[in-house]
Amino acid sequence: MSNRNKSIYLIPVMLCFFCMGFVDLVGIASNYVKADLALSDSVANVLPSLVFFWFLIFSVPTGMLMNKIGRKKTVLLSLVVTVVSLILPLSGELFGESFGIMLVAFSLLGIGNALMQTSLNPLVSTVMGGGNLAATLTFGQFIKALSSFSAPYLAMWGATMAIPEFGLSWRVLFAIFFVVGVLSTLLLFLTPIDEPAMGEGKVSSFADCIRLLGTPIVLLSFLGIMCHVGIDVGTNTTAPKILMERLGMTLNEAAFATSLYFIFRTIGCLTGSFFLRILKMRTFFFISVLMMALSAFGMLVGDEQWELYVAIALMGYGNSNVFSMCFATALESMPEKQNEVSGLMIMGLFGGTIFPLFMGLASDAIGQAGAVLVMAVGVVYLFSYIPQVKK
């Protein structure tokens, strides 16, 4: 495949990365659902928890599915599921605006994203055909981050009627992403991508993955990824609530906190590859976790707007490369079992289910400081993981 054809075929694939970022709307959307339906924190946090629950169920089966129907068809399936999840919150006249509908919508969003996270990166490898894969995947994460930090702005502008929202208020976010999702599906469907024939090798199973937890470095890396994702989803959900609680902001004003987090996470993704070339991985991991610890302290005690903004930015940058370093450490520890290790690490995204549940209970009990303390437990674990990272 010529370089020119690669560039053309990468356009719909990069648009899929933008769709992958739709999952991060759960933070701001759950806050608006909480306000609309007068929910407690513990109940509202079920929504982001439910999204990431499906990674536990679908990550390994998606690998099996790719071997049967191919990578492109698996990504297309993920897009269809995602598009359906986005249209449900817009169908209030048919189904009513209920917590049940949002549960179904967020479940489908999680299932679609689990399919997409597992299958899209291998599809990039197919399109590149031995090209500069690492740089392409990094750019894809940048595109994903653009989607992530645009979500709070779109919801806020819809709620304040700063853009035409057709009576949807903050839910116009779902309408805009729905249009992008449909466009992405059509473009990818129409793009010819030649895939290699599926092999007859053994496909990883749940049993294969679970057995690897008996290897200490794999277990510790798995827990590290759970903490990374839990802190990521937790900050996404909790940052606006902290500003509302401490500074008396409205939800529309506080929505910027989520975008601020994703802006600095994006900067971290773009600069992390550079720092990993000039620093030892263990050194950069330590710096990243130290930033997260300073952030947790700032979110715990800060009561000035600038203090809280600095804390949120530190968490965004510090947490931006933790996944890749934990993932690389696990893969390099067992090069002969990379398929099984990869599936297990993706299952670690299940941490996005566990942390918000405990954070919701803690914040209902003692305020948002309780949610920050739960995230701090994850930061403490990441400090303990530092000796496992290669020097």
Q: Which domains does the chain have, with CATH numbers?
A: 1-193 (1.20.1250.20), 202-391 (1.20.1250.20)
What gap in Å lies between CA 369 and CA 372, rounded to an integer?
A: 5
Record the tokens describing residue 148, joined without a space. 């992530």
pLDDT mean over 163-183: 87
- 109 contacts 22 by C-beta, under 8 angstroms: yes
The answer for residues whose C-beta is within 8 angstroms of residue 224's C-beta and 6 or more apart is 322, 326, 348, 381, 382, 385, 388
Distance CA 81, CA 85 (A): 6
111-135 average pLDDT score: 75
**Tokens standing for residue 202:** 């053994």
Q: What is the DSSP-derived secondary structure letter of residue 203?
A: P
pLDDT: which is higher, 151 or 81: 81
Return the residue matching tokens 């020097």.
391
pTM of the predicted model over 0.85: no
pLDDT average, residue stretch 276-304: 92
Non-local (6+) Cβ contacts of 379 within 8 A are 227, 231, 289, 292, 293, 296
Q: Are 152 and 24 in contact (CB under 8 A)?
A: no
The sign of the dihedral angle between the CA atoms of 32, 33, 38, 41 is: negative
The predicted-structure confidence for 241-288, as pLDDT tens digits, reads as follows: 999 999 999 888 888 898 899 889 889 888 877 787 788 889 999 999
